[in-house]
Structure 1
Amino acid sequence: MFRALSNPNRLALFQRLMTCCVPGTKCDPQQATKVCVGDLGEGLAIAPSTLSHHLKILNDAGLINMQRRGKHIDCWVEPAVLQQLAGFFSH
């Protein structure tokens, strides 16, 4: 997970997706904020192919989830992932 987050662009993408379920709060995973890939890259100087590559690495590391919705792909962070990362730092 930390290797995936070591890249500044991937860290920025992950931080954009961490809008729901701050560790220590109660949040329904069904209500976790989902962001379309096209919207996620706005404002970042990342080519679409590079954005897809970074998201694949985050997904492979178990940091984000991705789901196709027609022509769109939604991305989100599960609350359990944030709890797992928080648990690492609390020990």
Structure 2
Amino acid sequence: MSNQDRPVERAAVCCPGLLDAPLSEHDAAELAPVFKALADPVRLRLLSMIAAQGDGEVCVCELTPEFELSQPTISHHLKLLRQAGLIDCERRGTWVYYWLLPAATDKLAALLTRPAGDRVA
């Protein structure tokens, strides 16, 4: 599936920003696995590498050499990012290609963005 064939993801607002109101128990439970996935330096770097791709997707064969980790370990980290809803993938022959799911990162950005004009401490 090419980038043009993928449905356009829209940022879904799951919850108000942190400065608007405290998170509900449900929203906190929904977001915790995403933040847990991002709390690992390898996964954070993988997400950054995937997001930075000019054509929108990257082969696992391009990601693995950037780390001093085995291919199965990289695949495990990618699986956790997928389970958190941050990326998706598609197998093409021997290789798996990954791309960012912008709606997920847009949701995080909306949650963490403070309203314009707010005082910075």
TM-score interval w.r.t. the shorter chain?
0.7 to 0.9
- TM-score, L = length of structure 2: 0.62
Aligned equivalent of 1:33: 56
Q: Distance in 1 between matches of 2:66 and 2:47?
A: 14
Q: Within 5 Å, give how 1:1-91 maps onto structure 2.
A: 1-19=34-52, 33-91=56-114
Deviation of the 1:46 alpha carbon: 1.4
Deviation of the 1:70 alpha carbon: 1.1
Percent identity of equivalent pairs? 37
- TM-score, L = length of structure 1: 0.80
Give the RMSD, CA atoms, in angstroms: 1.6
Greater radius of gyration (CA): 2
Q: Distance in 2 between matches of 1:32 and 1:89?
A: 27
Deviation of the 1:79 alpha carbon: 2.1
| Deviation beyond 3 Å, 4+ runs, structure 1 | none
Unaligned 5+ segments in structure 1 are: 21-30
Unaligned 5+ segments in structure 2 are: 1-33, 115-121
Secondary structure (helix, strand or coil) at the match of 1:42 reads helix
